[in-house]
Structure 1
Amino acid sequence: MTNLNPSVYFVGAGPGDPELLTLKAYKIIREADVILYADSLVPKQILEDARQDCELIPTGNKTLEDIMKIMVDRVRNHRSVVRLHSGDLTLYSAIQEQILRLLQEEIEFHLIPGISAFQAAAAKIGTELTIPDLVQTIILTRVSGSASQVPPAEELEGLAAHQASLCLYLAARHVKKSQEKLLQFYPSSTSVAICFRIGWPDEKILIVPLEKMAEVTEKENLIRTTLYIISPALNTQKSSRSRLYHPQHSHLFRPNLLS
């Protein structure tokens, strides 16, 4: 017995660790009639609590047309469908093209966000990527590849000029070119966290100077599922305090009674 409506549920599975699923995502996965999942990006442990009679469909060998046909067919046959994506739905998940087709078919859908790899990686490293008086901006980006092109206004050089905490997705195959562009703006000693398959059993995190980013990536043979975090926040010993909890800072819930 399921409480889910016959519709499509786009679910962010997080970076790989089943315990990083949101409670809402877990409940929906547990109740779904059908689950389509990106088998190369979503570990099978995420599916362990799916119903025994749930139809599990890997999509690694399927086209968009194949996937949409299955989803539309199952919903029209009064079944609840989960489209399970890695990470968070708002980043490089290619859900927009699926949403447009569902709208054309007048199929109801819901979006359930997940934890992104950059959040899980920062937590594993034990750092905050926005430190007062040092860096207050996080940029999430990628480099152009065979499957997708970055708009000219968002090329890496322009973004690196901000010297913010820069999270670089889908770049391992272009690491030399990326390093060259980053070195134009970040000091060569800037720390880079090379984060391979965050949340998976074979997870690996290496923190190296920016000038070693490409060398270490190639030495470790990291060509897929690698995230780079380039940030002054990774190698700072600066003691900096937020004003929010400072005793001299008053606000609505903590008025300054001495003033």
Structure 2
Amino acid sequence: MKKQNGCLVACLIVVGIVVVIGLVHLGVGNYLLSKKFELNEIKASESVASATVEAISQSAFEPVLPAPVLNSSVDEAFVHDKALELTGYYFSFEPVQIGNFRLAHIDMGSNNDLIKFEKDGQSIPTWTPFEFEFEDITSKEIQTDQGNFRENSPRVFCTRYLITREVVTFEGYDKQVGKVSFTGKFTTQFLANMVNSTSILTQDKDAFLTGDLIINGKTFRNVRFQYWAGD
């Protein structure tokens, strides 16, 4: 009997030891699992923090582009020889026409007008100191003290020009006429009379300006212009 009781006690002790060992393993497993989750959370947090720091660093050191200059006081698109005084009107000898629009004249402002325009831009909405004026031959003709004019007379304002002793170039645009460009040259005789404003010619029938004129894609070769100083 005593021997049976001893065996039972021994079995209970073994079972107890096994249970204790199982509980210990279970506890250790749960502990390690929780640590693994904490480690993953730490790594995730570090990744987010690293990405944030990198984004901030890139933003902080990324070069800032300068704002565009909308109204520069110096524009290389508009250049003229300030020793020349070419103010007046230039009329073509031969008719120049495309569709309903016929060239009326070239209008050139004074030296001071050009200087001011090149410095400040267009200050008068209806005029620039170098422009080509056209007339719509289908529009109504209006009589004034200064002559007859067409009711619809679009002006092609300059968007680029170069005025020197060697060459005269012009680029402009009007929504009715289209794109207009001109490349020509003044005669030496004409320039000699226009260097000093006190010797400006009042009028002459000679062709003092000759060049090629392109209106909305159509080219007019060797267009000759005479000069009138105006009233």
Asked if TM exceeds 0.5, the reply is: no
TM-score bracket relative to the smaller structure: under 0.3
Query: Which structure has greater strand proportion?
Result: 2
Which of 1 and 2 has higher RCO (CA within 8 Å, sep 6+)? Answer: 1
Bigger radius of gyration: 2
Q: What's the TM-score, normalizing by structure 1?
A: 0.20
